[in-house]
A and B are shown apart, each in its own frame.
Chain A
Amino acid sequence: MTPPASTAAPLDRRSRDIRAQIIHVLRHGGRGHIGTSLSLVEILRVLYDTVMRYDPKNPRWPGRDRFILSKGHGCITQYVMLQEKGFFPAEEMTKFCKFDGILGGHPDPKVPGIEVSTGSLGHGLPIAVGMAVCAKRDAASHRVFAVLGDGECNEGSVWEAAMSAAKHRLDNLVVMVDYNKQQSYSTTYEVLDLEPFADKWRAFGFATEEVDGHDVAALEQLLARVPFEAGRPNAIICHTVKGKGVAFAENDLKWHHKSTIKDSEIDQLLAAIEG
């Protein structure tokens, strides 16, 4: 099966603003995962804007939907969303990766709004399954969202957890895979092909949908339908573009991660976002 092409969706003002904020955080830290943060923008935007229930003034509110960014290296996008929603002051964004800041290069629960430390790949889904099993057994109405990277799905623990999610009929669990088809070294096709990817999730017992991961309206529509099927966990394969929104960085692995980033590059990135 050929995955749907991504992406025809034009980026609106909000998507561009979020991307610009990501670049500003990068500038403060002088480093960071760029391409993967940009491919995540619409997924997280939709979750935080319209889908998930949470209370920034009470981040541990028991009724909150649980969110785990299992591909923890995309955390800058989550930081932007959390700060914008009021989980912590804007000043923290200027201390990204700094000694006395709370925002590191991977998420940590000392940050209000972050549930668990991720960054080592393949950990988020098992934890999400544990949370979702508890919600089921407590007859609680909150849901558990886990966003995974495509490269992350190389890890066996992802598939161990997937089997368990189906066994426990976790229709309160939503797995979203940021399928930008690039990992650190090369394409997912070359490094360790995931295809037929959606069929794999189906075979593991998930009610599975595919979507253009940059199409805000399509993401909203799809997430409004969760659970897709009673008694089955949900998987959404989000077809995305690594570096989305910065034409020269799109699908260019040089922009997967930068350990140093010059002011001139920051200017280029910001200019490219405005296109």
Chain B
Amino acid sequence: MRETCLKEVYRLAKGDKRITFIGSDLGVGTLKEFKEEMPDRFLMEGIAEAHVVGMASGMALEGRIVYVNTISTFLTRRCFEQVVVDACLHNLNVRLIGNGGGVVYAPLGPTHLAIEDLSIFRAVPNMTILAPADADEMRRLMPQTVDWRGPIYIRLAKGYDPIVTDDSVPCRIGKALPIRAGKDVLLVTTGITLKLAKQAAETLQGEGISAGILHMPTVKPLDTEAFFDLAGPVRAIVTIEENTIIGGLGGAIAEQVAEANFDPAKRFKRIGLPDVFPDKYGSQANLMDHYRITAAEIVATSRALLGR
């Protein structure tokens, strides 16, 4: 997905002179062709994220569309104020591409785990948040980022994630994708958790439970219309995200559910990271299992909410 995303930046830049790329201190050879073919629009600015985001904002004020790339935690935490004040307050065309969203960097420990990136950026006015499920979805979204007005955070997954999306539902920034209709429970996903929801929906179907899936690669702005369309018939709603359960996708949907005052009330549960700093290493899959962000947990939660 990272490779696809950066290749798209390169491809789009070839056709649009406004597009500029800024990295911090990325791996050797990153976007080599971009650097060679468009050196005036390729910058590697060092481990100085506060400056990088400010500089990107200055360039966006001059009409550039600036794609900034580094590790998620450094692009969200280190320079949060620059993101808020420079990029978002001025509503600039700065695109922040965060490597290793969620627990991708499990072996590197909590300094590198982006457990709250969706939550903190969701609270910032003008910010758009994208968390695609796979490389194909990334490829569908990237061209739309060029002319989207205002700052965008693009959360990258691990890479080589299984392809679970297709062209059957149009993928637009700001729009959720109704993946399947369901009458009993609605599973709401973002990022790679779509894969888990699809597995869970199949299992549930085998048990006679009709599970719908609404996939939200755009976490903000939240497509509430699509949510209420799919939420209408179901008795239970489960959100699944590789992010803290505080303030991310689950938080966003919880706000909608609470204020909708459904009658009869709907049962609701968030699946995601608990409010802790992970203290285990291993792999992303290990941490997802440890914190029970799994298809089995979605199945068990759905059953419990439905009293089955």
Contacts and interface: CB of A to CB of B under 8 A. Distances in A.
B88 to A, nearest CB: 11
A77 B89 CA distance: 23
B55 interface: yes
* SS class, residues of chain B in contact with chain A: helix
Contacts of B62: 130-131, 134-135, 138
A164 interface: yes
B117 interface: no
Contacts, number: 87
Interface stretch (B40-48, B189-197, B199-207, B209-217): B40-48
Given A115-B61, A131-B58, A126 B89 contact: no
Given A116-B61, A131-B62, A161 B82 contact: no
Contacts of B64: 134
Contacts of A125: 54
Contact of B50 (A115, A116, A157): A157
A184 interface: no
A49 B253 CA distance: 55
A129 interface: yes
A120 interface: yes
Nearest to A68: B58
Q: How large is the interface on A (under 10, 10 to 19, 20 to 34, 35 or more residues)?
A: 20 to 34
A160 interface: yes
* SS class, residues of chain A in contact with chain B: helix
A131 B54 contact: no
Contact of A126 (B46, B58, B60): B58
A116 B90 contact: yes
A131 B61 contact: yes
B46 A157 contact: no
Interface of A: 109, 115-117, 120, 122-123, 125-135, 137-138, 156-157, 160-161, 163-164
> Closest 3 A-B residue pairs measured CB to CB?
A130-B58, A126-B54, A160-B51
14 contacts: A115-B61, A116-B57, A117-B85, A117-B90, A123-B86, A126-B52, A127-B55, A127-B86, A131-B62, A134-B59, A134-B63, A134-B64, A160-B46, A164-B55
